[in-house]
Amino acid sequence: MGHTAMPWAVIIGMPGAGKTRVGREAASILHVGFTDADIQFEHDMGMKIPEFFEQYGEAEFRRAESELVCDLLSSLDGELLSLGGGAPMTERIQQELLRYIERGGRVIYLQADPKEAMERARRGGNRPMLAGDADERWKGLFKQRHPVFSALANAHIRTHGSTPQMAARKLADMISEKDVHIEGSGIEPYEVFIGDGAINHLSQVLGEEPVRVALIHTQPVQRHSDKARALLRQAGYQVTDIVIPDAEAGKTIAVAGGVWDRLGDAGFTRSDAIVGLGGGAATDVAGFVAATWMRGIRYVNCPTSLLAMVDASTGGKTGINTALGKNLVGSFYTPAGVLADMRSLSTLPNDIFVEGLGEVAKSGFIMDEKILDLLEDHAQALREYNAESLESEEFKAIVAELIERTVRVKAYHVSSDLKEAGLREFLNYGHTLGHAIEQLEHFRWRHGNAVAVGCVFAAELSYILGYIDRDLVDYHRSLLSSLGLPISWNNGSWEDVLALMHRDKKARGNALRFVILYDIGHPVHLDNPPVEAVEEAFRSIQQ
């Protein structure tokens, strides 16, 4: 496939929103070119827009403008393009923008505070559409254009109270971020945004219907929940702040019950919403509460750990634990969006970052070999991760690519099989033993670490049964340990492990069921293998 020229992003917005100033500044942060369609128009026509209006009228201006914009959309390559305030109202331009979005383009609606925008529009002059009582005309245009711009754009930025430099940084972050689209049968389509400042999509993803938003988070992520709360309040939502216990201690029926009580007291209705912010356990509980309150209300996940970004927050599994096991109570319920803001990784301790690599590696083993190459090439930097690591643009780009690829693996399996009848089960590679370890360790072992040992166990089982050769088992061991992940576990009896494996959610009736490999990228289901082989594989991960 040849490369098709297209702008990196297109900026739309009301007169006075700062499209030119902020766009130019963002282009300089990103080291790319910037084109303003209005300036280009005046250059091509050899006259100012008000003059053109006066001589030829608005209809002719809109015709000539749409010629120019359509030409720019297919000829600019990798630049930022800002459009005149009324351009997206022209049907031909709308169609071209939708085509541009289909090709992977980003149309960003820059929303300024109306007072600020009117003030700037008045100062700027040169705006024939605002002739007469400029403020009244602006309000009238806003009423017409806002719904169209909101529906057309696939990214929204609010610049209320920001300096042009702050707004430009927001814009640059949004343009550089990665975006994985998730759709499939039985799934309302949604986006996973990955990048610095991804949390800025919060009000866009929640939409205008909710009045109340419950922000469910844990104590350790206070700094990130403060940011989310400020964004929600700025956007006009009434925020109910709910702190739940950290990690698996938060995933209980008692905690969920407490949250239901808070929602009831605050008068939450079916049209209100929930934001889950924190690690995988927090997003699991928030999703479970959202799925069960009034039989399902809108929710958004803001994962703050690597594990939650690549695993728990995407895919629509929600759940809580019971005394008998992990995630035995839950539902399949997809979020309205997932905002994986990479800035939140900078507060993660090393061991919690490394744990997340267990799920990343698993996704490499079952589908995407490029993940394994990236892990292998950057093992030392990943293993030695600390708060300063993300200051390196190169390191940040590697982590972003790992997250994006892992989310794509998950999206592929989930979109074909939301309810886990077949394909989705492949995501459980390493999980049958992993969940047993977590249970027997009373959740003192982190999920990603338990999955790493579980992957070695599954590889050993694949080898014992003749599916793979010894080299691939050794590769599991060497890659996972080079990342600082455990590859052995020696704290439970075979009888206990076997009993828990029988209770695993993936078991069918009394039959044991595993996911094993017959090559990298080729997982298979294994029903009821000889119990001696399973025991032999288990012995091989004991030191």
**DSSP readout, 99-128?**
HHHHTT--EEEEE--HHHHHHHHHHH---G
Question: Does 326 count as an annotated binding residue?
Answer: yes
Question: Does 272 count as an annotated binding residue?
Answer: no
- For residue 511, the tally of other CB atoms under 10 A from its CB is 10
Please tell me the predicted confidence (pLDDT) of residue 161.
Answer: 78
The mean pLDDT value for 423-438 works out to 91
The answer to whether 301 and 334 have CB atoms below 8 angstroms apart is no
Lowest-confidence segment of 156-160, 464-468, 486-490 by average pLDDT: 156-160
Please tell me the predicted confidence (pLDDT) of residue 330.
Answer: 87
pLDDT tens for 62-95 read: 999 999 999 999 999 989 999 998 999 999 999 9
Question: Does 33 count as an annotated binding residue?
Answer: no
Please tell me the predicted confidence (pLDDT) of residue 312.
Answer: 67
- Label residue 7 by pLDDT band (50, 70, 90): very high
User: What is the C-alpha to C-alpha distance for residues 142 and 327, in angstroms, rounded to an integer?
Assistant: 47
In the chain, where the domains are located: 9-176, 178-348, 350-543
Question: Does 361 count as an annotated binding residue?
Answer: no
Please tell me the predicted confidence (pLDDT) of residue 186.
Answer: 73
State yes or no: pLDDT of 505 exceeds 70. Answer: no
Closest CA to 190 of 308, 342, 314: 314
**9-176: CATH number:** 3.40.50.300
State yes or no: pLDDT of 537 exceeds 90. Answer: yes
The mean pLDDT value for 350-368 works out to 96
Core vs surface per residue 316-348: b (16+ CB within 10 A) or e:
bbbbbbeeebbbebbebbbbbbbbbbbbbbeeb
Please tell me the predicted confidence (pLDDT) of residue 417.
Answer: 57
The mean pLDDT value for 414-442 works out to 82
Please tell me the predicted confidence (pLDDT) of residue 509.
Answer: 65
Please tell me the predicted confidence (pLDDT) of residue 280.
Answer: 85
Closest CA to 536 of 483, 464, 477, 454: 464
Question: Does 85 count as an annotated binding residue?
Answer: yes
Burial of 11 (0-12, 13-18, 19+ CB in 10 A): buried
Pick the CATH number of 350-543 from 1.10.645.10, 1.10.10.10, 1.20.1090.10, 3.40.50.10860: 1.20.1090.10
Question: Does 21 count as an annotated binding residue?
Answer: yes
The answer to whether 362 and 451 have CB atoms below 8 angstroms apart is yes
Q: How do 155-158 and 187-195 pair as beta strands?
A: unpaired
Q: What is the mean pLDDT of the chain?
A: 90
Please tell me the predicted confidence (pLDDT) of residue 231.
Answer: 93
Question: Does 163 count as an annotated binding residue?
Answer: no
The answer to whether 38 and 86 have CB atoms below 8 angstroms apart is no
Please tell me the predicted confidence (pLDDT) of residue 137.
Answer: 83
State yes or no: pLDDT of 342 exceeds 90. Answer: yes
Please tell me the predicted confidence (pLDDT) of residue 326.
Answer: 75
For the whole model, what pTM was predicted?
Answer: 0.83
Question: Does 251 count as an annotated binding residue?
Answer: yes
Lowest-confidence segment of 38-42, 61-65, 83-87, 115-119 by average pLDDT: 115-119
The partner residues of 240 in beta bridges, in order of sequence, read 214
Question: Does 127 count as an annotated binding residue?
Answer: yes
pLDDT tens for 437-473 read: 998 998 899 999 999 999 999 999 999 999 999 999 9
Question: Does 318 count as an annotated binding residue?
Answer: no
Question: Does 381 count as an annotated binding residue?
Answer: no
Question: Does 250 count as an annotated binding residue?
Answer: yes
The partner residues of 527 in beta bridges, in order of sequence, read 513
Non-local CB neighbours of 39 within 8 Å, separated by 6+ positions: 20
Question: Does 217 count as an annotated binding residue?
Answer: no
Written as six digits, the tokens of 351 are 């061991």
Report the greatest alpha carbon distance in the chain.
Answer: 89
Please tell me the predicted confidence (pLDDT) of residue 42.
Answer: 94
Question: Does 104 count as an annotated binding residue?
Answer: no
Question: Does 431 count as an annotated binding residue?
Answer: yes
Q: Give me the sign of the Cα torsion angle 525, 531, 532, 537.
A: positive
Question: Does 311 count as an annotated binding residue?
Answer: no
Question: Does 509 count as an annotated binding residue?
Answer: no
The mean pLDDT value for 357-377 works out to 97
Specify the residue for token string 């209006």. Answer: 53
Burial of 219 (0-12, 13-18, 19+ CB in 10 A): exposed
User: What is the C-alpha to C-alpha distance for residues 112 and 146, in angstroms, rounded to an integer?
Assistant: 12
Question: Does 281 count as an annotated binding residue?
Answer: yes
Please tell me the predicted confidence (pLDDT) of residue 1.
Answer: 41
State yes or no: pLDDT of 415 exceeds 80. Answer: no
DSSP string for residues in 414-479? HHH-TT-SSGGGGGGTTHHHHHHHHHHTTT-S-HHHHHHHHHHHHHHHHHHTTSS-HHHHHHHHHH
HSE-CB for 27 with a 13 A CA cutoff: 21
User: What is the C-alpha to C-alpha distance for residues 438 and 325, in angstroms, rounded to an integer?
Assistant: 9
Q: How do 513-519 and 522-527 pair as beta strands?
A: antiparallel
End-to-end CA distance of the chain: 51
- Label residue 276 by pLDDT band (50, 70, 90): very high
Please tell me the predicted confidence (pLDDT) of residue 138.
Answer: 86
Question: Does 20 count as an annotated binding residue?
Answer: yes
User: What is the C-alpha to C-alpha distance for residues 355 and 486, in angstroms, rounded to an integer?
Assistant: 9
User: What is the C-alpha to C-alpha distance for residues 230 and 202, in angstroms, rounded to an integer?
Assistant: 11
Q: What percent of the chain has pLDDT over 90?
A: 68
The partner residues of 525 in beta bridges, in order of sequence, read 515
DSSP string for residues in 231-266? HHHHTTPEEEEEEE-SGGGG-SHHHHHHHHHHHHHT
Question: Does 317 count as an annotated binding residue?
Answer: yes
pLDDT, greater one: 506 or 268:
268
Written as six digits, the tokens of 222 are 């206070």
Question: Does 249 count as an annotated binding residue?
Answer: yes
pLDDT tens for 130-144 read: 666 778 888 888 999
CATH topology of domain 178-348: Rossmann fold (3.40.50)
List, in sequence order, every beta strand (DSSP E) within 15-93.
34-36, 80-82
Written as six digits, the tokens of 47 are 């006259």
Non-local CB neighbours of 233 within 8 Å, separated by 6+ positions: 239
State yes or no: pLDDT of 421 exceeds 70. Answer: no
Q: Confirm whether 178-348 and 350-543 share one CATH topology.
A: no
Q: What percent of the chain has pLDDT over 70?
A: 95
Question: Does 145 count as an annotated binding residue?
Answer: yes
The mean pLDDT value for 293-314 works out to 90
Distances (CA, A) of 114 to 119, 127, 160, 166, 376: 8, 16, 9, 18, 51
pLDDT tens for 208-247 read: 899 999 999 998 899 999 999 999 998 999 999 999 998 8
Burial of 114 (0-12, 13-18, 19+ CB in 10 A): middle
Question: Does 18 count as an annotated binding residue?
Answer: yes
